[in-house]
Amino acid sequence: GSTIGILGGGQLGRMMAVAAAQLGYKVIGYAPAGDNVAADLCHDFFENGWGDKPALAAFAAKCDVVTWEFENVPLSAVEMIPAGMLAPDPRALETAQDRVKEKRFIEDMGGRPAAYMAVGSDDEFKQAVERVGAPGILKTARDGYDGKGQWRVSSLRDADSVRFPGKSCVYESMVDFEAEFSVILVRGTDGEVRFWDSTANVHEEGMLATSTYPPSASVSAQIEEARQLAARVAEALRYVGVLTLEFFATANGPVFNEMAPRVHNSGHWTIEGAATSQFENHVRAICGLPLGSTATRFAHVEMRNIVGEDALTAHEILAEDGEAHLHLYGKKEAREGRKMGHVTRVGHAAG
Ligand code: ATP
Ligand code: MG
Ligand code: MG
């Protein structure tokens, strides 16, 4: 087919649409009304609610293949799209939308999340803090992103100061990590899997700040084990497209944090830093094209997010560094803690 439908209207969809256009595809987006920055790059964009079944049907009728850029698209909306048109398989979405389901699934796959307990009430939360210990983090099971819906518990006594949010949650122990990294892979319709190199990911206030290649030696030593888990996950889900798993590199090996059944912020560096970007390979995979090389093209790569009002002066980067690759997403309002763009710098090794 030649028309790609994307559920969700954020920057991931926008960058996916750019890659799709380069390969000659037409893109149609769908997301509820809002600051849908993917819309400008789409041939057509449906601004309708996730519960609008006629609109979803009209959207699907215009597409040959449908994917998503947002992992919290309600399953009920995804189920309105004929199953044969969807890539990846919606089972990946179902698993990743619930942190408890996701951790159990990863354990079944032989992976190791932080110690955790599912909690459904304030009493259960208090019990979990006793059993799992502190420090730890209470996270809503669903709908969290960029560190939203998370409360840190620094000591056993501190649990009283956290108000249970009244919805299904998971309490997990705070991992003492050396670094964070992600494994990003693409799997084709024929089952071929390719990995990009892993970057070291630094988070600030629960949100990705920078991704740097190469990562430290302590991360590098753990990538192979993490990749094997990611490949088993992709296989089990008969995944088609780009899949991301986040890890903590610890003294005892890689600890699974969470997965994203989509292109990922920690893969933005691949636009300039790799032979084929995560966005292009996602498009290739879902359209049944041969996958492109995921090889890193430079000795050093750094991606830095531009958050909140920093976007207002982001053009200064261009004057400071003629080789900086600036990406701005065109969001209308530079709210605090909002991802507005990113800048990637690539370089050859010195000497
Ligand atoms: P994303 O935008 O990546 O989807 P999210 O809201 O789903 O974010 P998490 O990935 O669960 O959030 O957590 C965000 C960050 O908070 C992590 O990358 C890490 O830096 C820190 N963090 C989360 N859980 C733990 C943990 N158990 N131990 C240590 N740090 C943690
Ligand atoms: Mg997440
Ligand atoms: Mg995360």
pLDDT in tens, the chain (351 residues): 699 999 999 999 999 999 999 999 999 999 999 999 999 999 999 999 999 999 999 999 999 999 999 999 999 999 999 999 999 999 999 999 999 999 999 999 999 999 999 999 999 999 999 999 999 999 999 998 888 899 999 998 898 889 999 999 999 999 999 999 999 999 999 999 999 999 999 999 999 999 999 999 999 999 999 999 999 999 999 999 999 999 999 999 999 999 999 999 999 999 999 999 999 999 999 999 999 999 999 999 999 999 999 999 999 999 999 999 999 999 999 999 999 999 999 998 654
Question: Do 280 and 320 sit in the same domain of this protein?
Answer: yes
Residues belonging to the binding site are 99, 139, 144-150, 172-175, 180, 203, 257-258
Question: Do 215 and 270 sit in the same domain of this protein?
Answer: yes
Question: Do 332 and 310 sit in the same domain of this protein?
Answer: yes
Q: Which of 146, 183, 203 to mutate to test ligand 1, by most ligand atoms within 8 A of the CB atom? A: 203
Residue 247's pLDDT is: 98
Boundary (domain end) residue, out of 173, 199, 222: 173
Q: Which residues line ligand 1 (CB under 6 A)?
A: 114, 137, 139, 144-148, 172, 174-175, 180, 203, 206, 246, 257-258
Question: Do 251 and 328 sit in the same domain of this protein?
Answer: yes
CA 96 – ligand 1 centroid, Å: 14
Q: Count Cβ atoms below 10 Å from residue 199 Cβ, excluding itself.
A: 28
Question: Do 226 and 284 sit in the same domain of this protein?
Answer: yes
ipTM exceeding cut-off 0.85 for this assembly: yes
Protein residue with least CA distance to atom 3, ligand 1: 146
Domain assignment present for 71 = yes
Question: Do 133 and 224 sit in the same domain of this protein?
Answer: no
State the closest ligand 1 atom to the C-alpha of 144, by its place in the atom list counted from 1.
6
CA 221 – ligand 3 centroid, Å: 21
Domain assignment present for 207 = yes
Domain assignment present for 106 = no
Question: Do 206 and 343 sit in the same domain of this protein?
Answer: yes
Boundary (domain end) residue, out of 142, 173, 204: 173
Long-range contacts, stretch 48-52, CB < 8 angstroms, 24+ apart: 50/74, 50/76, 50/77, 51/76, 51/77
Question: Do 144 and 286 sit in the same domain of this protein?
Answer: no
Contacts of 321 (CB under 8 A, 6+ apart): 345
Question: Do 235 and 308 sit in the same domain of this protein?
Answer: yes
Protein residue with least CA distance to atom 22, ligand 1: 206
Domain that holds residue 163: 115-173
Residue 147's pLDDT is: 85
Ligand 2 ion local residues (Cβ < 5 A)? 258
Peptide bond preceding 135 in cis form (omega within 30 of 0): yes
Residue 145's pLDDT is: 86
Question: Do 156 and 239 sit in the same domain of this protein?
Answer: no
State the closest ligand 1 atom to the C-alpha of 264, by its place in the atom list counted from 1.
3
We report the CATH number of the domain holding residue 81 as 3.40.50.20
Q: Count Cβ atoms below 10 Å from residue 193 Cβ, excluding itself.
A: 16
State the closest ligand 1 atom to the C-alpha of 258, by its place in the atom list counted from 1.
10
Domain assignment present for 228 = yes
* Number of domains, the chain: 3
Question: Do 36 and 72 sit in the same domain of this protein?
Answer: yes
Residues belonging to the binding site for ATP are 99, 139, 144-150, 172-175, 180, 203, 257-258
Q: Count Cβ atoms below 10 Å from residue 166 Cβ, excluding itself.
A: 10
User: What ligand is nearest to the CA atom of residue 146?
Assistant: 1
Domain assignment present for 287 = yes
Domain assignment present for 105 = no
Contacts of 259 (CB under 8 A, 6+ apart): 95, 96, 102, 106, 233, 243, 244, 245, 246
Ligand 3 ion local residues (Cβ < 5 A)? 246
Domain assignment present for 102 = no
Question: Do 122 and 169 sit in the same domain of this protein?
Answer: yes
